[in-house]
Amino acid sequence: MRSTAAVVILCAGYFLLAGAFSHPPREWTRLILTQQWPKTFCSMEHCKTDISYWTLHGLWPNSGNMCNNSWHFNASLIEDLLPEMEKCWPDLLKPSSPEFWGYEWKKHGTCAAKAESLNSQHKYFSKALELYHKFDLNSVLKDKNIVPSEDYYKLDDIETVITDFYGVKTKIQCVHTKGGQFQSLGQIEICVDRDFQLVGCEKSNEEILSNEILPLAVGGYSELSVCDHSTPVYYPPLVTG
């Protein structure tokens, strides 16, 4: 009986996963505004940075990847945005290159563009910048004395500050050390609906199957995972000492 039940469960799982791959991605319902802490990113990627504020990682639809591989990124179409992009959405690995923006457009922007409000490169990147400034994570944390420090924080304290301000649940991700003594604050996701209004970042089973079977990673980003409530959080300052 146990072996029969196991076969049934395995078959059900196979068909569920097969369905996720065989059907086209569902229309996205939320956008994930993702911001990263440069110091933590560079600790993973062995880069150097003098940026002491949260920067954009991307604006990601909650369904679909690489929706139009023939729609190539063209920096000349967002020329008026470039000074702001270089400041708020920098490539920490290749500061003088537009490669990072091209990757984000190809993987996520071409899917976001299924909505009329985001159906051009200029609309997509300008909306990401607008949301980044509107939901100013740097100020939210600083105003409540959550600042880069050699001291550790409790994840509950960070979560409370963010949730109280935005009124919705966000997703806070950390880089976990091998020994597990602490975790470094690395990335925070804030979600909006198709009208760009704040919503919670909880994921349904459908979204997990359709959009997250392959790890969402750029370089060492596979090391990021949801922060652990029982582990102290390190919010690394630019200069340690």
Give the residue numbers marked as catalytic: 57, 104, 108
Q: Identify whether the C-beta of residue 222 lies closer than 8 Å to the C-beta of residue 215.
A: yes
Cα 162 to Cα 169: distance, rounded to the nearest angstrom: 8
Cα 173 to Cα 227: distance, rounded to the nearest angstrom: 5
Cα 18 to Cα 50: distance, rounded to the nearest angstrom: 45
Cα 84 to Cα 75: distance, rounded to the nearest angstrom: 13
Alpha carbon 55 to its chain's center: 11
Q: Give the containing element (helix H, strand E) for 10.
A: helix 2-22
Structure tokens at 5: 């039940």
